[in-house]
């Protein structure tokens, strides 16, 4: 019952009822990533390419899509990572949750959201004054 209500009233938690219906009607499961996100393909977009979408495992966060699946989702490759032995490049970073808007977000010294005092200006800076 809880799942029905979260899917009916929220778009950021898993899938909406519209996505569920569209997936049931025309979606073909392509694969699942290490985070439990499930990828689908079906129908055609306005450019004639197959539509591709993801149903997130939990909250919908686009940064949680691994690099291989990101390339497939954006039609950079036609071969899904589940259909090949995809190995991430050494320069590809693993997922890191977006902390913007949370208490753990980055706040530099002097930010209005911290208790720290703004750093003093050093001698290598001259403030601009009108007419100078």
Higher-confidence residue of 132 and 127: namely 127
pLDDT above 60 for 104: yes
Give the closest residue to 59 by CA, choosing from 33, 28, 34, 37.
Answer: 37
Instruction: Name which of 23, 21, 92 is nearest 63 in CA terms.
Output: 92
**Per-residue pLDDT at 4:** 61
Check residue 5 and give its pLDDT: 60
The whole-angstrom separation of Cα 23 and Cα 128 is: 59
Look up the domain containing 79 and give its range.
2-83
| pTM, rounded to two decimals | 0.62
Residue 122: pLDDT above 80? no
Tally of domains in the chain: 1
- Domain membership of residue 96 (yes or no) is no
Q: Which residue has the higher pLDDT, 14 or 74?
A: 74
What is the pLDDT at residue 112? 80
Structural domain contains residue 65: yes
What b-and-e string marks burial along 57-67, b requiring 16 or more CB atoms within 10 Å of the CB? eeebeeebbbb
Count CA within 13 A, CB hemisphere, residue 22: 15
Q: Is residue 38 part of a domain?
A: yes
If pLDDT is split at 50, 70 and 90, which confidence band does 110 have? confident
pLDDT at site 24: 59
Residue 7 placed within a domain: yes
In a domain, 35, yes or no: yes
């Amino acid at each position: 019952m809880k799942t029905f209500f979260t899917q009916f009233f929220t778009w950021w938690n898993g899938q909406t009822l519209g996505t569920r219906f569209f997936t049931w009607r025309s979606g073909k499961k392509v694969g699942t990533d290490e985070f439990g996100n499930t990828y689908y393909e079906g129908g055609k977009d306005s450019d004639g390419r197959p539509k591709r979408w993801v149903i997130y495992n939990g909250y919908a966060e686009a940064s949680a899509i691994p690099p291989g699946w990101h390339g497939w989702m954006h039609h950079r490759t036609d071969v899904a990572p589940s259909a090949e032995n995809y190995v991430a490049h050494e320069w590809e970073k693993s997922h890191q949750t977006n902390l913007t808007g949370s208490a753990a977000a980055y706040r530099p010294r002097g930010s209005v959201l911290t208790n720290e005092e703004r750093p003093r200006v050093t001698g290598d800076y001259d403030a601009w004054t009108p007419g100078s």
